[in-house]
Amino acid sequence: MAEARRGDPRLTEQRNPRSTRIDQLTTQEIVDLVNAEDRMVAAAVGEEREQIARAIDLVVDSLRQGGRLFYVGAGTSGRLGVLDASEMPPTYRTDPELVQGVIAGGLDALVRAQEGAEDHPEDGAAAMDERHVGAKDFVLGIAASGTTPFVHGALERARELGARTGFLLCTYPSEQLMKTHDVVIAPLVGPEVITGSTRMKAGTATKIVLNTISTAAMVKTGKVYGNLMVDLQVTCQKLQDRGERILVETLGVSAEDASRLLGESGGHVKTAIVMQRLGLTAQEAAQRLDAVGGSIADVVGDLASKP
């Protein structure tokens, strides 16, 4: 991470010299300009690889202790946190309480901006109390500018309650921020194409970071076999089809047998794999998985050892 620089203004509020005449460009030129700026995002996130890895280890430690992951933000930052959290249950069969998104202004703010909701640190603190945040939890504050009062209020209260905390921002972090939190992630994507419109590069960087954190945490807590989504929750025809295809690939069975196994396992791909590989009932397979914390490789071996 680039060191915090005293006196530097927030990058998220600076004017981008490459887009000062964007209102005079052709449509194709605007597309090319935005695309050129977006190419900087992945590299900026890559510069924060060590901090992202640190955040993942903190999350995994919390989850293994029976704790939870909270994302806290306002506006775009809050919406991205809620989005990432909401995708965990269908993708990895997690309890909806395991990963939670907290947005200033509540759920109404997901679809309609709640002006001023981000300005109240006491509301952020109250959100932590309402969710009974404690010592086993990890709370990640998200604020592109690094200054959102709601987020700071939530993190301060979370720390008082014993939780470990992190901060994700897209400008230079202050020394105080670095000292306060267990991890600070600061991808410096630079000024936005439209000044202050942090739903653009900063939003994209935030999405990439959250994707990485939650995906890696799920991998390290046994939700993935090889690179297959074996802990998915079958809730629709698309996921039913994906589950059956995973069974066909990992077990070498027919599509008909895969469908039968998935039904017998209660729609749980991991259980179905263990049932077939070890000749167990669904209950026995589930017990074997529970005994090793859900890590399928610890029960049936690495994916490379498939029949």
Instruction: Give the model confidence (pLDDT) of 250-285 as tens digits.
Output: 999 999 999 999 999 998 899 999 999 999 999 999
Q: Which of the residues in the chain have pLDDT under 70?
A: 1-9, 233, 304-307
Sign of CA dihedral 146, 148, 154, 156: positive
pLDDT value of residue 306: 53
Which of 32, 108, 103 lies closest to 72 in space, CA to CA? 103
State the total domains in the chain: 2
260 and 176 part of one domain: no
Domain boundary pick from 220, 246, 263: 220
261 and 214 part of one domain: no
216 and 251 part of one domain: no
Domain boundary pick from 187, 220, 253: 220
Q: Which residues contact 220 (CB under 8 A, 6 or more apart)?
A: 56, 60
pLDDT value of residue 2: 44
pLDDT value of residue 6: 44
pLDDT value of residue 294: 86
pLDDT value of residue 4: 41
164 and 35 part of one domain: yes
Strands (E), 135-224: 138-142, 164-168, 183-185
* Domain contains 228: no
Residues with a known catalytic role: 87, 118
Domain boundary pick from 170, 190, 220: 220
131 and 174 part of one domain: yes
64 and 183 part of one domain: yes
pLDDT value of residue 233: 67
pLDDT value of residue 7: 42
pLDDT value of residue 229: 87
* Domain contains 284: yes
75 and 198 part of one domain: yes
211 and 142 part of one domain: yes
* Domain contains 230: no
**137: domain CATH number?**
3.40.50.10490
Dist. CA 107–CA 103, nearest whole Å: 7
DSSP assignments along 240-300, one per residue: HHHHHHHHHHHH---HHHHHHHHHHTTSBHHHHHHHHHHT--HHHHHHHHHHTTT-THHHH
261 and 180 part of one domain: no
Domain span at 52: 11-220
